[in-house]
């Protein structure tokens, strides 16, 4: 099975390459330099249709896992046009070109819990099929990208994930876990929200889930998230405990105290029962941290 991974230099891309089995032939792409993950790599800007075509002719994929995106939620809010270009137009070009060149290939999009508003009528985790109503530019752009994926005439899957954490030597930016560890190891305090409920996801679990969608040729929407409900604050406290760092240096924060440029869903946990039925079995934060500690 030939699998093209976009966003290969990102946190998720790194873990997909690490989780691939010998029966999979991976082809990697991002914009920057080859991250040297042991697979063929071609740099491409997905906002350029000609580069997308060159990429698909090069990889001849049976599956495309589209992980590349403009992922900084506040930057998206401040620059909606750029966000739309990277998240929506790039997805559109990939979908349309794949349909033309490799119509039997599967298309898998990595999406987000931010397609939901986070004000569920019932205080229960979202299930696939629940009503989407993004409240940020980033969330809207990912939902629009999903809409393009749904037009793909072949097999497609949309994997919604949440608050991804982990470690990768090649990732271009930090994540909640690295922010907590960096601050506490430097002896500083860190303020973390107590009024944003999520299902944080270890990037390695997400990668395994994405490859499962590929091997199972899954069709439709799947939630690939972690198994526990956390706030950024409770997750940070668990990380501090796992690394033996001072938990009291984590200060609780609410959205009244600190207004972020992009509004965040207050309550967006994802139910993972549908993915579990397929064989997805993610780790708790404590289990994941025990493995990440081998690197950090």
Ligand X SMILES: NC(=O)c1ccc[n+]([C@@H]2O[C@H](COP(=O)([O-])OP(=O)(O)OC[C@H]3O[C@@H](n4cnc5c(N)ncnc54)[C@H](OP(=O)(O)O)[C@@H]3O)[C@@H](O)[C@H]2O)c1
Q: Min. distance of Cβ 66 from ligand X in angstroms? A: 7
Q: 69 or 157, CB closer to ligand X?
A: 69
Q: Applying CB under 6 A, which residues contact ligand X?
A: 7, 9-13, 30-32, 45-47, 67-71, 86, 90, 110, 112, 142, 161-164, 171-173
Burial grade of 21 (CB within 10 A; 0-12, 13-18, 19 or more): exposed
Q: 59 or 69, CB closer to ligand X?
A: 69
Which residue has its beta carbon closest to ligand X? 10
Q: 173 or 295, CB closer to ligand X?
A: 173
Q: Min. distance of Cβ 90 from ligand X in angstroms? A: 5
Q: Min. distance of Cβ 224 from ligand X in angstroms? A: 10
Q: 121 or 162, CB closer to ligand X?
A: 162
Q: Min. distance of Cβ 104 from ligand X in angstroms? A: 24
Nearest to 227 by CA among 179, 283, 165: 283
Two structure tokens written together for 87: 């998240």
Q: 98 or 171, CB closer to ligand X?
A: 171
- 160 vs 248: CA distance, rounded Å: 33
Q: Min. distance of Cβ 33 from ligand X in angstroms? A: 8
Q: Min. distance of Cβ 187 from ligand X in angstroms? A: 26
Q: 24 or 110, CB closer to ligand X?
A: 110
Q: Min. distance of Cβ 129 from ligand X in angstroms? A: 19
Q: 102 or 114, CB closer to ligand X?
A: 114
Three-class secondary structure assignment of the chain: CEEEEECCCCHHHHHHHHHCCCCCEEEEECCCCCCCCCCCECCCCCCCHHHHHHHHHHHCCCEEEECCCCCCHHHHHHCHHHHHHHHHHHHHHHHHHHHHHCCCCEEEEEEEHHHCCCCCCCCCCECCCCCCCCCCHHHHHHHHHHHHHHCCCCCEEEEEECCEECCCCCCCCCCHHHHHHHHHHCCCCEEEECCCEECCEEHHHHHHHHHHHHHCCCCEEEECCCCCCECHHHHHHHHHHHCCCCHHHEEEECCCCCCCCCCCCCECCECCHHHHHHCCCCCCHHHHHHHHCCCC
Q: Min. distance of Cβ 107 from ligand X in angstroms? A: 13
Q: 110 or 240, CB closer to ligand X?
A: 110
């Amino acid at each position: 099975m030939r699998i093209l991974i976009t966003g290969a230099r990102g946190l998720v891309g790194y873990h997909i390459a690490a989780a691939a089995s010998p029966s999979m032939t991976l082809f990697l792409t991002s914009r920057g330099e080859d991250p040297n993950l042991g697979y063929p790599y071609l740099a491409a800007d997905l906002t350029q249709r000609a580069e997308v075509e060159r990429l698909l002719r090069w990889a001849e994929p049976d599956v495309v896992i589209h992980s590349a995106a403009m992922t900084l939620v506040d930057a998206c809010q401040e620059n909606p046009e750029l966000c739309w270009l990277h998240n929506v137009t790039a997805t559109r070009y990939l979908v349309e070109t794949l349909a033309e060149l490799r119509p039997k290939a599967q298309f898998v999009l990595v999406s987000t819990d931010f397609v939901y508003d986070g004000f569920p009528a019932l205080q229960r985790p979202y299930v696939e099929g629940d009503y989407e109503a993004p409240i940020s530019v980033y969330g809207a752009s990912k939902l629009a990208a999903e809409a393009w994926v749904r037009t793909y005439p072949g097999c497609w899957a949309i994997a919604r994930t949440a608050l991804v954490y982990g470690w990768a030597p090649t990732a271009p930016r930090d994540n909640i876990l690295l922010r907590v560890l960096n601050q506490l190891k430097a002896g500083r305090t860190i303020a973390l929200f107590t009024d944003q409920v999520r299902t944080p996801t270890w990037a390695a679990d997400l990668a395994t889930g994405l490859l499962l969608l590929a091997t199972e040729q899954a069709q439709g929407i799947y939630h690939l998230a972690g198994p526990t409900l956390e706030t950024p604050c409770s997750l940070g406290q668990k990380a501090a405990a796992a690394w033996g760092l001072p938990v009291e240096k984590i200060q609780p924060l609410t959205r009244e105290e600190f207004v972020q440029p992009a509004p965040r869903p207050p309550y967006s946990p994802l139910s993972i029962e549908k993915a579990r039925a397929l064989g997805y079995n993610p780790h708790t934060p404590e289990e994941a941290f025990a493995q990440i500690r081998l690197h950090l």
